[in-house]
Amino acid sequence: MSTDTLRRTAAHDTGADRIQRRQRNRRIRQTISHVLLVLVALAFLFPLIFTVATALKPAGETFSTPPSLVGSSIRWQNFVDVFTFVPFHRYILNGMFVAGAGTIVTLIASALSAYAFASLKWRGRDSLFLVFLGTIMVPQEVLIVPMFILMQRFGWVDSYAALIFPWAFTAFGTFLLRQFFKAVPYELQEAARIDGCGPLRTFLQIMLPMAKPALGVLAVFTFVNFWNSFLWPLVMINDVNARGTVPLGLELFFGQNGNQWHLVMAASVISILPTLILLLFLQKHLVKGVATSGLAGR
Amino acid sequence: MRLRKTALVAAGLVAVLAAAAGCGSGSGAGGGTKNSDGSVTIDWQMWAGSSDEQKQLDHLTKLVHQKYPKINLKLRTAPFKDYFTKLQTEMSAGKQACLVSMQSLRLPGFAANLEPLDQLAKDADLSGFDPAALKALKADGKQYALPMDLGALMMYYNADAFKKAGLKAPAKGWTIDEFVADAKALKAKSGKPGFGMSFSDLNLMSLLYAYNGAQPVSGDKLTLTGKKMQDAMTWYTELATKEKVGSVPASSSEGGWGETQFANGNAMMAVDGTWNIGSTIGQAKFNASVAPLPVGSAGARTYVANSGYGISTNCAYKKQAFQALSVLTGDEAEGYLADQGRAYPARTSQQPKFGEYLAKQDPKKADLVKNALATVKDGLDGSVPFTTTQNWDQVNQLFSQYLLQAYTGATSPKNALDTVQQRAQRGA
Amino acid sequence: MAVAEATRTPAPAKRRRSRSARREQWHATGFITPSVVGLGLFTLFPVVMAVVMSFYKWPMLGTHEFVGFSNFSYLFGGDPDFLAAVRNTFVFTGLFVPLNIIVALGLAFWISTSRFQQLFRVLFFIPSITPAVANAVIWKLLYQPDGVIAYYTEKLFGVHAPNFLADGHTALLAVVVMSVWQGFGYNMIIFSAAINEMPPSVLEAASIDGATGIRKLLRIQLPLISPSLFFATVMTMISSLQVFTQVFIMTGGGPGNSTETMVMNVYQAGFVSRDLGLAAASAWILFALILIITAVQFVGQKRWVHYEH
C-alpha cells in the first residue's frame, strides 16, 4: 500500500520539477566542491605565499609566534639587497646562457635525428631507434662519475661547455619529435620530393614548420630542465661567482646566510620567477605538452 | 650537393661545440700564462661569498699589479663551504691555480700539492707576522703558506642577556662549570637556549679541547674513540639532553647553527672564530661580546685557525707567484683588509687597524669592540693550531649526520663517535 | 606500412631505386650523426665506463688500480650507510609514489568537474617547474623548530612538535611530504588529460547500467585511464629512486643515515670521500635496480592496463 502511494506521488511529480530540483542540487554541490577546491589550492600554495611574505619582511622577523604573513613593514629593499649581497645577476645570466644554448643544441640534434627516424628509410633504423629508447632509462646520476672523468679529459671542468653539452643529446627529444613527424602526411613529403626537394629542404621547409608546437614544448621543457639542474653544476662548477647557475647560487647563498631568511626567500622568489612567467604565458601549450608526452623533469 | 648541406650542419654543430669548449675558464696548465708582452698572468684561487668580499679581493689584485706591473693576478673564487672540495676537483683536473688560498685546518691534506716556501722566503723578512699565525700554516716543520690573518675560537655572548640575568660577564679565567651555570641561568631568565650547539669542526672541537684537552686528530689519524674525547663529547651532548640549555641544530645541513642562532638572538652564547667579530657585533640587534673559551680540567685551551696563501707545486711561475704573495701578505694589503673589517691581520703592525674599523662602525659599541679585541690576545693563550686528517670533508659530513643523533638523544655520544671513527676509516 | 609504401612507389627502374636508397642511407647518416655522437659520447660511453670504474680503486687525486669486486663487497659488507641508503630509497619510493599518484588522481577527478580546470591545472603545476633547490629551501624554512608547521602542529594537535628534520623518525617523512607537494602536478595534468578524453558514450552507458560512485570509478573510469596511470607510475618511480636535491638541501642525509638516499650515497662517495670507483659501483647498483623495477612493471602491466584498439 505504502509503495503504491509513493509511486503515485512520484507520478504526480512532473518531469520538469524533477529536473529542476536535480539541477539545483547539482549546482549546490558544485558550489561546495568549488569552495573546497579553492581552499585546497590555497593550502597548496601556502608555502609559496609564505615565501613571498617572508621575502618582504625586515631582517630578524622571519619567525614569530603566532606566525604572521606581514612583518612590521614591507621591505622591497630585500630584493635589491640580494643582488648587492651576492652577484645574483651573474647567476641569472649564466643560467640563461646555459639553458638557452642547451636548448638550441637539444632542438637541433633532436629534430635532425627525429626526421631520420620518422621519414627516411635506411638500414639499421629500427635497431638504432631501440638503442635510443634504451638510453632514456639511464639516470643522470649514474653518468655523473664517469662524466666527471670525461670532462677532465676534455679539459671542460668548470666550463659552460660542461654544463651544456653532456645533457643536450636526449633520446627523449628525438622520440617526441619523431611522433610529430610521423603524423605529417606522407603525400606532403612525397610531393616535396617530386618537386626536387632534397631531404634537407624537405626537413627545413615542410617538416620543421609542421612541428612548431612540438618544438616549442620541447624547447620550454628543455630550458626549464637546464635552468633548474642542480647536481651536475654542483659537481662541475668551481668558480661559482663566474660560472654558477641560479640553483647553485641559491644554495650557496643559503649556506652563507643561514640566518638571513628574508634574503634567502627573496632570492628564491627571484629564482622561481622566470619559469613561472614561462608557465603563465605558455600554460596551454605546456599543459598540453605534459598531457601528450608526459615530459617529466630530468 | 644536399649531402654537403647536411655536412655543413654537422660541421656547424662541431664548431659550436668547439667554441663553447673554449669558453671555459681558459686557464692553462701551470696555473698561469705568459703573455706576449712578457708579463705573466697568475691564477689565484680564493674563497669569497658576498659581492663585498669579491671587491676586496679585486682590490688586492690591483695592489699586486701596482707593485709588479709585469704580474697580473686572475682571481677565481668559490664559496668557503665548497672551496676545498672544489680545490680537490681542480687538482684532479690539473687546473689548480698558482696561488692557492689555504686555511690552516686543511693544510695537511693539501701539503703534498703545495710548494714549501722556506727556500723562496729565504730573503724575505717574516718577523712582521704574529708567530702564532706562521706556526698554524706549517706542516712537518715546513712553511707551506704565509698568513693573511690570525684567528682563534672564542665564546660569543649576549651581554644584554647576561646583565638581565644578573650574571657577571664572562672574562679571562672563567671556568667550564661557570659556563654551564651561566647557560642555565640565561635559559631560566630568557626562556631561550643558553648555548647554540654545533657539529662543525672548529666550533665544536674547540670547546671539547677547552673542556679537558681532548683532540680529534693525533698526527694525521682520527682519534675519536679515546676516553677523553668520549668524556668531552658526553659533556657537550648533555648540554642538550640533560641540562636542556643547548639549542640543537635543525638538521644535518645546518653547518653554522650555533653562530647564526646566536647572531639572531635565539641562543645566548655560541663558539665562533675571531674572524666573525666584526660582522656579528655589528649586525646583532643586541650587545654582543666575546670572551676566551671557559677553562676546563686541562687549563686554558683553544684552537688557532687562520688562512694564508701558498704556491702550488705545478706552478710554472713560482718566482712571480712569490712576489705576488709577498704583496698579498704585505703591510698594505693586510692593513687594507683590516680597514675593511675583513680580517684580523697576521701582521702585528696592522692589528690595531681592525679595532679602529670596528669602533668606527658603531661608536656606541666601541667599548664592546675594545674589550673583544683585548680578549683575542687573551684567548690566544694556550692555543695550538687545529690539525685535520686528509679526508676531513668526509669526517665533517659524518659529524653532521651522526653527532646530531647524539644531540637529539637518539644515540649515545660514544656510539656517535665510534660510528664516525669507523666510517671515516676507509677514506683515511 | 612497408607494403603500402612499396605500392605507392612506381614499380619500374629498380636500379634507380637502389641508388636512391643508397643516397637516402647517406642522408640519414648525416641527419642522425649529431645525436648518435652525442648520445654515444655522453650516455653510452659513460655507462660502460661506469662499469669499468666500479672495478677500480679510483681516487680523485692520484692513480687508479684494478681491485676486482672489492668496491661492491665494501658496499654490501663494510659500508652500513649504503644498505641504509637502499632501504631509505625504497621507503621513500614506497611512500612517495602511491601518495603522489593518489593525490594527483584525486585532484584530477576533482578539478575535472570545475569550469576552471585549466586554472587549477596551472596552479598545481607551479612547484613542478620551479627549481627544486628553491622548493627545498622554502620547506626547510617551514620545518624550522620555531617555524610555521611546528606552531600549527602544537596549536591544532596539542602535541609538542618534533624537530622535524633533526629527528630520525620524522626527517624522511618530512622530505616525502615536500616531494609530493612539489611533484604531483605533472601526474595530475597527465591524468586530467586522460579523464577529459574518456569517451562519453562509455560513461553514459555505464550510468544507464546503474554504475555510480566507487563502482563506476573502479570498473569504468580507472581502466579507461589505465595507460596513463601506468605511464605515470613508471616515470614517477624512476624519478623517485633518484631523489637527491631535497635531501641534500633539507637534511644533508642525516640525522645518522636516516635520510641518506642512493644518489646521496653516490655523491658522497664520489665528491666528498673522493672515491670515484666506489661511487661508480654505487651508481651502477642504482641503475640495475631501476632497470629491474621498470622491467617488472612492464611485465606486470598486462594484468591491469587496458589499451584501446
What percentage of residues in chain C have a pLDDT greater than 90?
Answer: 52
Domain assignment of residue C209, given as a range: 70-304
Please give the average per-residue pLDDT across A155-182, as a whole number: 88
pLDDT-based confidence at B210, cuts 50/70/90?
A: very high
Q: Contact B405/C26, CB-based, under 8 Å?
A: no
- A285 Cβ under 8 Å from any chain B Cβ: no
Least confident of A6-10, A110-114, B141-145: A6-10
Cis peptide before B292 (omega within 30 of 0): no
Verify whether the Cβ–Cβ distance C166 to B397 is below 8 Å: no
Contact between B50 and A152 using a beta-carbon 8 Å cutoff: no
Same domain, C143 and C209: yes
Contact B79 A243 (CB under 8 A): no
Q: Provide the b/e sequence for B285-306 (b: ≥16 CB within 10 Å).
A: eebbbbbbbbbbeeebbbbbbb
C39, pLDDT greater than 50: yes
When CB atoms are compared, the residue of C131, C138, C152 closest to A228 is C131
Q: Confirm whether C64 is domain-assigned.
A: no
Q: What is the mean pLDDT of residues A1-28?
A: 67
CA distance A203 to A111: 9
Contact between A162 and B24 using a beta-carbon 8 Å cutoff: yes
The whole-angstrom separation of Cα B30 and Cα B288 is 46
Closest residue in B to A150 (Cα–Cα): B93
pLDDT in tens, B76-129: 888 777 788 788 878 877 778 999 999 988 888 788 889 999 888 877 888 899
Q: Residue C279: CB partners within 8 Å, gap ≥ 6? A: A144, A145, C266, C267, C269, C270, C271
The Cβ-side half-sphere exposure at B190, using a 13 Å CA radius, reads 26
The residue extents of the domains of chain B are 32-149+307-359, 153-304+391-424
> With contacts defined as CB-CB under 8 Å, which chain B residues touch C149?
none
Confidence of residue A14 (pLDDT cuts 50, 70, 90): low
Asked if residue C199 is part of any domain, the answer here is yes
Is the Cβ pair A291, C47 closer than 8 Å? no
Any A CB within 8 A of B54 CB: yes
Q: In the complex, which subunits touch C with 3 or more CB pairs below 8 angstroms?
A: A, B
Grid cell, residue B426, equals: 676507509
A116, C107: Cβ pair inside 8 Å?
no
As a dihedral over the C-alpha atoms of residue C280, residue C286, residue C287, residue C292, rounded to 10 degrees, the angle is 150
Contacts C126 to A, Cβ<8 Å: 45, 48, 276, 279
Residues of B in contact with A242 (CB under 8 A): 25, 76-77
Model confidence at B41: pLDDT above 50: yes
Task: Give residue-wise pLDDT tens across range C166-191.
Answer: 999 999 999 999 999 999 998 998 89
Residue in chain C lying closest to A132 (CA)? C39
Q: Does B48 touch chain A (CB under 8 A)?
A: yes
When the pLDDT of each residue in chain B is averaged and rounded to a whole number, the result is 85
Residue B400 and residue C254: Cβ atoms within 8 Å?
A: yes
C67 phi/psi in degrees, rounded to 5? -130, 15
- CB contact at 8 A, B305 and B202: yes
| Whether B255 and A255 lie within 8 Å, measured CB to CB | yes
Measured CA to CA, the distance from residue B187 to residue B195 in angstroms comes to 9
Residues in chain A closer than 8 A to C116 (CB atoms): 34
Q: Are residues C17 and C134 in the same domain?
A: no
Would you call C61 and B427 a contact, using CB atoms and an 8 Å cutoff? Answer: no
Which of A73-97 are b and which e, b meaning 16 or more Cβ less than 10 Å from the residue's Cβ? eebeebbebbbebbbbebbbebbbb
Q: Same structural domain for residues C89 and C200?
A: yes
* C253:B427 CB<8 A: no
Spell out which residues of chain A touch residue B20, defining contact as CB-CB under 8 Å: 101, 159-161, 164-165
Mean per-residue pLDDT, C41-55: 93
Residue C152: inside a domain, yes or no? Answer: yes
Phi, psi of C220 (to 5 degrees): -110, -55
Strands B142-143 and B138-139: antiparallel
Q: What number is the average pLDDT over the span C91-99? A: 97
Cβ–Cβ contact A108 with B under 8 A:
yes
Residues C165 and C38 grouped into a single domain: no
- Kind and range of the H or E run holding B77: strand B71-78
Give the CA-trace dihedral at A167, A171, A177, A182, to 10 degrees.
Answer: 170
Q: Mean pLDDT of all residues in chain C?
A: 87
Q: How many angstroms away from the CA of C194 is the closest CA of chain A?
A: 8
Distance (Å, whole) CA C148 – CA C156? 12
CA distance B70 to chain A (A): 25
For chain A, the average pLDDT equals: 83
CB–CB contact B2 A84 (8 Å):
no
Specify whether C163 is located in the same domain as C260. yes
Q: Are residues C47 and C129 in the same domain?
A: no
Based on the domain organization, do C154 and C112 belong to the same domain? Answer: yes
Just give the CATH number of B153-304+391-424: 3.40.190.10
Alpha-carbon gap, residue A181 to A116, rounded angstroms: 10
Per-residue pLDDT at C194 = 87
Domain count, chain C: 2
Give the model's pLDDT for residue C100: 97
ipTM of the complex: 0.85
* B92 touching chain C per CB within 8 A: yes
| Residue in the structure block whose three cell numbers are 668526509 | B394
For residue B5, pLDDT beyond 80: no
- Interface contact C30-B6, CB threshold 8 A: yes
Going by pLDDT thresholds of 50, 70 and 90, the confidence category of residue C8 is very low
Q: What share of chain B is helix, strand, coil (3-state, %, to 5)?
A: 50, 20, 35
Chains meeting B at 3+ CB pairs closer than 8 A? A, C
CB contact under 8 A, C249 and B253: yes
pLDDT, tens only, B7-37: 444 444 444 444 433 333 334 457 788 888 8
Q: Do residue C290 and residue C200 come from a single domain?
A: yes
Number of A to B CB contacts under 8 A, please give it: 112
Which CATH number goes with the domain that contains C90? 1.10.3720.10
* Confidence at A17, pLDDT banded by 50, 70, 90: confident
Is B78 within 8 Å of chain A by CB? yes
Beta carbons of C268 and B7 less than 8 Å apart? no
- Chain A residues in contact with B260 (beta carbon < 8 A): 258-259
- Subunits with 3+ Cβ pairs within 8 Å of A are B, C
Share of chain C residues as helix, strand and coil, in percent rounded to the nearest 5: 75, 0, 25
> DSSP code of B103?
E
Instruction: Retrieve residue A183's grid coordinates.
Output: 603524423
Residues of chain C with Cβ-Cβ distance to B397 below 8 Å are 252-253, 268, 272
The top-level CATH class assigned to B32-149+307-359 is: alpha beta
Q: Which of C82, C165, C261 to mutate to test the interface with B (most CBs of B within 10 A)?
A: C165
Task: Compute the average pLDDT of residues A217-232.
Answer: 90
State the pLDDT at residue C114. Answer: 85
- Strand boundaries in B1-66, DSSP class E: 32-34, 40-47
* B313-339: average pLDDT: 92
How far does A183 lie from chain B, in Å, by closest CA? 24
What number of C-beta contacts closer than 8 Å exist between A and C? 276
| Domain identity same for C245 and C111 | yes
Q: Say which range, B197-206, B328-337, C79-88, C295-304, has the weakest mean pLDDT.
A: C295-304
Whether C217 and C269 share a structural domain:
yes
Give me the residues of B, 229-288, that contact C with CB < 8 A: 248-253, 266
* Same domain as C46, residue C129: no
The answer as to whether C65 is a domain residue is no
CB contact under 8 A, B77 and A86: no
* Residue A48 in contact with partner chain C when CB distance is under 8 A: yes
Residue C2 lies in a domain: no
Residues C17 and C110 in one domain: no
Residue C105 has pLDDT above 90, yes or no: yes
